Amino acid sequence: MTEKNPDILEQNKRINELTRRVGRLEENMETLKHAIEPDGWISNAFDAVEEHLTEHDRRFDKLERKIDHNFAELRSSLNHILEHLTKLSDLPEE
């Protein structure tokens, strides 16, 4: 008789639905737990981004040193040219 009782069937249906929802919630919580753990994929992604940015910092530092060196060479060349030109204008007149 209980199998045909509409109230009990509705309760069973609701219990089964809630059981499935709880199961999905537990699965989702496990997924999140693995994602946020120190070795989880979120931490790994932050580590990868940090490594990427560190590599770019190294490259920018190298480029900055190279640019500084090139400007120093250019400054030296310009000083040499100016020195050469100014000496030409100071030729003896007699």
Distance CA 31, CA 42 (A): 11
pLDDT of residue 62: 97
Annotated domain spans of the chain: 1-36, 46-89
Mean pLDDT value across residues 17-23 = 97
pTM strictly above 0.75: no
Angle (CA) 29-31-43 rounded to 5° is: 115
The answer to whether the CB of 40 falls within 8 A of the CB of 34 is yes
- pLDDT at position 58 over 90: yes
Give CA–CA dist 71/85, Å, rounded.
Answer: 21
Q: What is the pLDDT of residue 88?
A: 66
C-beta of residue 24 within 8 angstroms of C-beta of residue 30: no
